[in-house]
Amino acid sequence: MSETWIILGATSSIARCLARDLAGEGASLILAGRDRADLDATAADCLARGAGAATPIEFDVRDPATFAAILDLTKDAPGPLCAAVFTGSMPDQEDIDADPSLIDGVITDSFTGPARFLQQLAPLLGEKGSGTVLGIGSVAGDRGRLGNYVYGSAKAGFATYLSGLRNRLGRSGVHVVTVKPGPVDTAMTWGLDGLPFMTTPDKAAAHMLKAARKGRNVVYTAPIWRIIMMVIRSVPEPIFKKMEI
């Protein structure tokens, strides 16, 4: 029986690519996000590509009142129930330094909001006894760096949450994957200079889905970032805190 996938933040570039890949497999899709016109267009595209169903639904990760309608759609969903979480925001660190109130939005978008949704979804996943959760973290969460430490701390928190959720749901047959993308050519990175090893949304989506099918726990996209971050984590703190990265 084909899978049912909830895609949170379905208007992001990587999420749209993942939705198209899943549509080609005949999956049923629940496309959740804030831009209804964008969601409607993605739903129509996915249906044309072979999706079993494609339901657009308005969702705001900062508004828990929007969660219930999505959860209701999943209760009678056929087949394995899966979820992919793409929500997040990354203001310039300099803007956050000037206005610390921006921290609240970053933490909600990138950590506490998606964690709150998944915490409500977890019992339904456990009852199904199968399925996959793709949680999108970031290489920025592997170590606090000068240029984006607020965003990085939010993604580090989400990665730790996903690790615990993996331990919980793995006991009932649900697999949780922590995805740590490096720079991807999306709206979040446009205008940022000097980003190495940039990948594309379609490649990132294909890579994370392949990793999920193989039962991987943590996956870096592109794979070279696993090596890069291993090196960065190994730099002693007295040296690291003087580095301009």
- Residues of the chain with pLDDT > 90, as a percent, come to 80
Torsion region of 215: left, alpha or beta (phi above 0 gives left; psi -120 to 50 gives alpha): left
**Which positions of the chain have pLDDT values less than 50?**
189-192
Does the domain made of 4-240 have the CATH classification 3.40.50.720? yes
Mean of the per-residue pLDDT values of the chain: 92
pLDDT, residue 239, reads: 93
Query: pTM of the entire structure?
Result: 0.91
pLDDT, residue 3, reads: 94
pLDDT, residue 186, reads: 59
Q: From CA 224, how far away is CA 80, in angstroms rounded?
A: 32
Q: Is the alpha carbon torsion for 229, 231, 234, 240 positive or negative?
A: negative
Query: Where do the domains of the chain lie?
Result: 4-240
The answer to whether 60 and 67 have CB atoms below 8 angstroms apart is: no
Give the DSSP letter of residue 112.
Answer: I
Rg (CA), the chain: 18
Sole residue written with tokens 């990354």 = 90
pLDDT, residue 75, reads: 81
pLDDT, residue 195, reads: 54
